[in-house]
Structure 1
Amino acid sequence: MKTSDILADAFGRISESVHSALDGIDAQRLLARADPESNTIAWLIWHLTRVQDDHIADLLDTGQIWITAGWVDRFRLPFPPEDTGYGHSSDDVAQVVVSSPELLLGYFDEVSDRTAHFVSGLADDELDRIVDERWDPPVTLGVRLVSVLADDLQHAGQAAFLRGILDRENR
């Protein structure tokens, strides 16, 4: 198995988790919180997609889909276009109001498709390329991709967990 196959499988698992968390959900549950300070499913999916979009765009040296494909205008959130949700407060989380899962999935799927295309074409020797010299040691392409995977899988799992809680409450 090639490294690109492993990466494609891993990013595909994020997609499966996101689709599962949003399948059949209504707007009310998208914005529900386990407690007043916790994240919503809408924020979790938006944030994990923004992080993936930001980091993959940087690796490709291209614009973020959020901006170039007009998702920023469709979501109409009160944040600067480059905001990914990193460091958001509870009040910021509350401002990520999304009226439908289709909006989240549309943006996520476009980002996910670009990521899948990118990682499927990677050769093993490319993973050692330095992509960020602001850290010590500098960050390689492989390390950056694992970082995005870890962050996105964590947030997808949180969304799935919250969805399970909400579904049980509504039985």
Structure 2
Amino acid sequence: MTSADLLVDAFGRIKENVHGTVADLTQAELGIQPDGDANSIAWLIWHLTRVQDDHIADVAGTEQLWTAGGWSTRFNLPFDATATGYAHNPTDVAALADVPADLLLAYYDAVHAATITYVSTLTDADLPRIVDTRWDPPVTLGVRLVSVIDDDIQHAGQAAYIRGMLLRRR
């Protein structure tokens, strides 16, 4: 197994989790915040996708699909086009309540496809490349990719947990 194979597998598992979590939920269920300060499934899926889009575009040297692919216009959210969800408050989370599952998944799938296209080209020699000097030590490509995978897995798991709560209420 190559590094590229490992990365493709990891991002593929995230895709399975995202789709499995959203499957067969109503738009209302996707937007439910379990309490006043909690994130919704819709927000968690949007956020993990935005972070992946932002970070992968940065290391690949491409424009984010959020803007380049017109997703920011289709979502029509009251956020700056650069927003990824960092430091969002409950009101911001609630802004995702009306986003339909097919739109969330279409954006996620577009970002996933771009991610797979990029990581499929990587070799072991690419992973030590410094991609962010704002940290000490500077962040390598390998560390950035693991960070994205870790963030996405955590948020997909949080969304799956909320799904379980909602399904028990049905």
TM-score interval for Structure 1 and Structure 2 normalised by the shorter chain: over 0.9
Q: Which residue of 1 aligns with 2:141?
A: 141
For residues 78-93 of structure 1, the aligned pairs below 5 Å read 78-93=78-93
Q: Provide the aligned length of Structure 1 versus Structure 2.
A: 170
For residues 149 and 111 of structure 1, what CA distance do their matches in structure 2 show?
A: 13
**Superimposed CA distance per residue, residues 83-103 of structure 1 (whole angstroms, 9 cap, x where no aligned partner):** 000111112111223331000
* Amino acid paired to 2:168: R
SS of equivalent to 1:105: helix
**Superimposed CA distance per residue, residues 30-88 of structure 1 (whole angstroms, 9 cap, x where no aligned partner):** 11122111000000000000000000010111110000110000000000000000111
What percentage of aligned pairs have identical amino acids? Answer: 55
For residues 63 and 37 of structure 2, what CA distance do their matches in structure 1 show?
A: 32
**Superimposed CA distance per residue, residues 105-164 of structure 1 (whole angstroms, 9 cap, x where no aligned partner):** 000000000101111110001000000011110000000000000000000000111001
For residues 6 and 86 of structure 1, what CA distance do their matches in structure 2 show?
A: 28
Q: Which residue of 1 aligns with 2:63?
A: 63
Q: Which residue of 1 aligns with 2:111?
A: 111
- TM-score with structure 2 length normalisation? 0.98
For residues 29 and 156 of structure 1, what CA distance do their matches in structure 2 show?
A: 16
**Superimposed CA distance per residue, residues 6-36 of structure 1 (whole angstroms, 9 cap, x where no aligned partner):** 1110000110000001111111101112211
For residues 1-171 of structure 1, the aligned pairs below 5 Å read 1-170=1-170
Note the residue ranges of structure 1 that are not aligned, 5 or more in a row: none
Give the superposed CA RMSD: 0.8
Q: State whether residues 55 and 148 of structure 2, in contact with CA within 8 Å, keep that contact through their aligned partners in structure 1.
A: yes
For residues 128 and 20 of structure 1, what CA distance do their matches in structure 2 show?
A: 33
Q: State whether residues 75 and 98 of structure 1, in contact with CA within 8 Å, keep that contact through their aligned partners in structure 2.
A: no
